[in-house]
Amino acid sequence: MFESTKVAVLGAGLMGCGIAQVFACKQIAVTLYDPYATARDTAKDKIASNLEIMSLSTDALQYINVVGDLQQAVSDADFIIEAVPEKRELKQQLFSRIRPYTKSTAVVASNTSVIPIKEIFEGLHFENQVVGTHWWNPPYLVPLVEVVQTDQSSDEAIEKMMTLLKYAGKEPVHVKKDVPGFVGNRMQHALWREAIALINDGVCSAEGVDAVVKNSFGLRLPVLGPIENADLVGLDLTLDIHNVILESLNNDTQPADILKHKVDKKEWGMKTGKGFKTWTEEEAQEVKVNLSKYLIEVQKRKGHKDEKES
């Protein structure tokens, strides 16, 4: 179906390499662009390492062409996915540069976690070619891609991107309104806001907050989404609970004082050895390894499920 499709991925960092890997594993031709020679020189090594960790063949590498010429990368691409750092101005500049070289039939996507897509493409007139694609890190292990519709998105562009992502083995979700954070990060950071507020207000320790999540509703989340859960317990009970709890939930529109204080003191988490918790390098590495193992196992189960259904 996509044998002759050409995908351009702009940016050969962690996200760009991972996105390129996803398509290459489905034998889709990918041109991976980066302006920096160091990034280009190490791109395929990064992808090979990912494939090895996942116990997959490195044959996918033959479908990836790494280049340093932007026009070469995008001029014949059917899909263009930007994966540069999360800075609005940087993304805008890149899209402005590729506009003269982009085919009128190409679907043009920005990969961003929270920036509204309309703000990235403001004034850039791509004529209904634009969509947002929020890939989650690492993109080759996390199934979800949020496909965001904005005022420069045609129904055709959304459908094309959704179809491509499904073919590539992802789980695309159509986000119908271009709101900051889209769906996943809005829910995730609503949880983080409440978690940090509970610590800030002295209700519970950081260790206690994590223990509560891991040993209660967190266990259900992989198989029971929040709306399924509400329907399961009953919307009448859900309403009764909301009538009691909602007015006491944190609704601050600014970050918590404890978070700002820790950032000011350079207590940034695992990268500095201290955040809400204190971390040795070994402890931080153990968390990262355990997360990777878990996601790889999820990916394997998903692969087995897809094989049975096909």
Q: How far apart are CA 92 and CA 271, in angstroms?
A: 29
pLDDT at 307: 64
Q: Which of 110, 264, 252 is nearest to 189 (CA)?
A: 252
Mean pLDDT, to the nearest integer, of 235-247?
A: 98
Closest to 4 in 3D by CA, of 82, 75, 76, 69: 76
Position 13 scores a pLDDT of 96
Q: What is the spatial distance between Cα 69 and Cα 75, in angstroms, rounded to a whole number?
A: 10
Please give the Cα distance from 154 to 274 (Å, whole number).
46
> Over the stretch 212-223, which tens digit does the pLDDT of each residue have?
999 999 999 999
Q: Which is it for strands 64-67 and 130-135: parallel, antiparallel or unpaired? A: unpaired
Q: In 3D, which of 76, 81, 67 has the Cα closest to residue 5?
A: 76
- For the full predicted model, state whether its pTM sits above 0.85: yes
Average pLDDT of the residues of the chain: 95
Mean pLDDT of 22-36: 97
In this structure, the strands spanning 79-82 and 6-10 are parallel
d(CA 202, CA 209): 11
Looking at residue 16, what is its pLDDT? 98
Which of 201, 250, 220, 292 is CA-nearest to residue 14?
292
Tokens 């001029």 sit on residue: 75
How many residues belong to the chain? 310
pLDDT of 1 higher than 90: no
